[in-house]
Chain A
Amino acid sequence: MSFLTLTSLQKSFGPVQVVKDFNMSIEKGEFISFLGPSGCGKTTVLRMIAGFETPSGGAITIDGRSQQNLRPNQRNIGMVFQAYALFPNMNVAENVAFGLKVAGRPKAEIDARVKEMLGLIKLDHLADRYPYQMSGGQQQRVALARALAPKPQVLLLDEPLSALDAKIRVSLREEIRQIQQQLGITTVFVTHDQEEALSISDRIVVMNAGKADQIGKPADIYNRPATRFVANFVGTLNLIEAKVVDPAANRVSIGDQGVTLREPLGNAKAGDTVSLALRPEAGSTAPDARGDTALTGEVVSSNFLGSVIRTRMKVGDSIISFDMFNSPGLVPPTVGETVTLRFTAGDLLVIRD
């Protein structure tokens, strides 16, 4: 049985239904990310788990126990907020000790636990500092230690890195993941940053308009997006309209060029239009490439992005982007030049709405 289960979860604010029939089972010790754009309902689901929002329907259980009638302070759930939410009147040690004091733990136990937690986040030397005397990254680490100190069953992270600058964000997300694995705590992480979600999660839930569009491992989400929304939202993707030529042979045409897919075309008939997806990094230029897994087009732009050069070429009515790793000897394609992009049949994915 799963540790944390969300069954047919629903939430409406007045006439607006923000979470629609959300189902999810999370195993003990798993790190799950809710990924989606603003307003997709990811934070609302998190807040329902925490008890800050009451579901309009459905059930939440943790370790087999229904959370329905439990107030937030009865749920034994740790939470880290985007705005840190450290108590300004308390120093670091007092902040970390707060949950333990509320639980009435003995002083010796509190002191030991605070020391352990501050060691975990490597801020032992700042125990006497007040929140206003610390950087955002330090404050968020203290917030993490404070949430973990009472040994919660589940840790909820509500966009904890959004307010930090880029470098701190990367280092802190790695630190969060390392601490989570070290403690083996079941964690739900809400983010709109796909890179964050892809880099630290065991599984990702891509949310769209109040429901889960796809739940899967980061590589599956990235490589095999289940819907057009997931394909568009996660990573950069070429969405190409193609015409079915021979459904039995998985053969389609893009512009006037034929391509054979590895994926079956389902119920599509000859002449139907299907959407295909191709990651920019999937192909590579090959002047002599011909056949079913190559497309030739005219370069319309070429942009230097540092580690890669992103080139856009026109194939029929579609614009296809592809990346080339930058190297000192590389000559980028020029606008107007004709290039051929080679890929494998498996790189072209059939997108279902």
Chain B
Amino acid sequence: MRKFWAWGALIFGMLYFILPLLGMTNFSLKMRRGVYSLDAYAVVLGDPRFQATFTYSILMALATIVFGVLLVVPTAYWVRLKLPGLRPYIEFVTLLPLVIPAIVIVFGYIRLYNTSSWLPLTGSITGTNILLMFGYATLALPYMYRSVDTGLRSIDIATLTEAAQSLGAGWTTILARIILPNVLVAVLSGAFLTFAIVIGEFTMAALLNRPAFGPYMQLLGANRAYEPAALAVMSFALTWGCLGLIQLVSRFQKGAQSAT
């Protein structure tokens, strides 16, 4: 009887999640009347705006990941090593982007960094791109910080740090050659989540008027029928690809099973 309910719950969950996806995929393949075709995908992939916005978002995602890693890994490491009492406060700060809507954050940015402010980042394309990257990093902060912090918890960072110090290593060497490689899976998990967030993000890119993939999807959705469905399927595939990569990396990481 228990098995029956377990299977029932599983089937219900799968139907709940998979049916809409199947419906959407089915719809994306019906652009040509009467037959299944990949026309909608061909139209999307052939659109120069798709290529431009997708490339832009990928570059922004990579920049966000690099910035996020440089910001979060040393911070989480230092907090765990030297300031453990501050951990609850840091965790609180990193959770704020989950409760403060992106629109509030971006309006705050625009108010602070507009052309008449002391740091007029929105006055140039590069400045706006940097601002958008900061915004993305803020949105990804809860995921990146949590991933890295969990990774740091699994190793004895205090003893590893002292061992490296006694062998002559300075802070940069310790972070780059001891800490980072040992939390690589966690960092990559955070990185892939960041990638997925940046690729689909709409609010910040739209309000900062940058040619990102999110606003392009919205624009397409407002004006076309089949192409948005194709784009959504592609976005899902991309996100799932990222999740698959997280699994793959964690499986193949050297010494992943080790404990100090």
Q: Do A and B come from one complex?
A: yes
Report which A residues bind B (CB closer than 8 A).
50-52, 71-79, 81, 83-90, 98-99, 102-103, 130-132, 143, 146-147, 150, 156
The residues of A that contact B257 with a CB separation of less than 8 Å are 132
Chain A CB within 8 A of B26 CB: no
CB distance from B159 to the nearest CB of A (A): 4
Q: Once A and B bind, how many residue pairs between them come within 8 Å at the CB atom?
A: 86
Residue of A nearest to B253 (CB): A89
| Mask of B153-172 contacts with A, CB within 8 angstroms, 1/0 | 00110011011111111100
The residues of B that contact A98 with a CB separation of less than 8 Å are 164, 167, 169, 177
Distance, CA A338 to CA B153, complexed state (A): 62
Q: Which of B163, B169, B258 contacts A81 (CB 8 A)?
A: B163
Chain A CB within 8 A of B260 CB: yes
Report which B residues bind A (CB closer than 8 A).
155-156, 159-160, 162-170, 173, 177-178, 181-182, 184, 254-255, 257-260
Residue of B nearest to A78 (CB): B166
Distance, CA A343 to CA B163, complexed state (A): 50
Evaluate contact between A73 and B165: CB separation under 8 angstroms: yes
Evaluate contact between A85 and B160: CB separation under 8 angstroms: yes
Evaluate contact between A83 and B260: CB separation under 8 angstroms: yes
Specify which of B155, B156, B163 lies most central, judged by the most chain A CB atoms within 10 Å of its CB. B163
Residue of B nearest to A98 (CB): B167
Evaluate contact between A131 and B173: CB separation under 8 angstroms: no
Q: Which of A79, A84, A132 contacts B162 (CB 8 A)?
A: A79
CB distance from B172 to the nearest CB of A (A): 11
The residues of A that contact B155 with a CB separation of less than 8 Å are 88
The residues of A that contact B255 with a CB separation of less than 8 Å are 88-90, 130-132
Could you list 28 examples of A-B contacts with CB < 8 Å?
A51-B165, A72-B162, A72-B165, A72-B166, A73-B165, A73-B167, A73-B168, A73-B170, A78-B166, A78-B167, A83-B156, A84-B260, A86-B260, A87-B163, A88-B182, A88-B259, A89-B178, A98-B177, A102-B168, A130-B254, A131-B255, A132-B255, A132-B259, A143-B163, A146-B167, A150-B167, A150-B168, A156-B166
Q: Which of B159, B167, B181, B258 contacts A102 (CB 8 A)?
A: B167
The residues of B that contact A150 with a CB separation of less than 8 Å are 167-168
Evaluate whether A79 and B181 lie within 8 angstroms (CB atoms) in the complex, with A88-B155, A132-B257, A132-B258 already known. Answer: no
Distance, CA A51 to CA B168, complexed state (A): 12
Distance, CA A299 to CA B258, complexed state (A): 54
Evaluate contact between B258 and A83: CB separation under 8 angstroms: no
The list of the 6 closest CB pairs from A to B, nearest first, reads A132-B258, A99-B167, A88-B258, A85-B163, A89-B181, A79-B166
Evaluate contact between B166 and A103: CB separation under 8 angstroms: no
CB distance from A107 to the nearest CB of B (A): 16
Evaluate whether A99 and B168 lie within 8 angstroms (CB atoms) in the complex, with A89-B255, A130-B258, A131-B255 already known. Answer: yes
CB distance from B250 to the nearest CB of A (A): 14
CB distance from B96 to the nearest CB of A (A): 33
CB distance from A110 to the nearest CB of B (A): 13
Distance, CA A89 to CA B170, complexed state (A): 18
The residues of A that contact B167 with a CB separation of less than 8 Å are 73, 78, 98-99, 102, 146-147, 150
Q: Which of A51, A83, A90, A131 contacts B159 (CB 8 A)?
A: A83
Distance, CA A211 to CA B182, complexed state (A): 39
CB distance from A185 to the nearest CB of B (A): 14
CB distance from B66 to the nearest CB of A (A): 20
Residue of B nearest to A72 (CB): B165
Distance, CA A71 to CA B168, complexed state (A): 9
Residue of A nearest to B181 (CB): A89
Evaluate contact between A102 and B162: CB separation under 8 angstroms: no
The residues of A that contact B184 with a CB separation of less than 8 Å are 89
Residue of B nearest to A87 (CB): B178
Residue of B nearest to A75 (CB): B166
Distance, CA A85 to CA B161, complexed state (A): 9
The residues of B that contact A83 with a CB separation of less than 8 Å are 156, 159, 260
CB distance from B256 to the nearest CB of A (A): 8
Evaluate contact between B159 and A85: CB separation under 8 angstroms: yes
The residues of A that contact B162 with a CB separation of less than 8 Å are 50, 52, 72, 79, 81, 85
The residues of A that contact B258 with a CB separation of less than 8 Å are 88, 130-132
Distance, CA A76 to CA B162, complexed state (A): 13
The residues of A that contact B182 with a CB separation of less than 8 Å are 87-89
Distance, CA A88 to CA B198, complexed state (A): 32
CB distance from B16 to the nearest CB of A (A): 41
Specify which of B156, B167, B181, B257 lies most central, judged by the most chain A CB atoms within 10 Å of its CB. B167
Distance, CA A146 to CA B177, complexed state (A): 16
The residues of A that contact B177 with a CB separation of less than 8 Å are 98
Evaluate contact between B260 and A102: CB separation under 8 angstroms: no
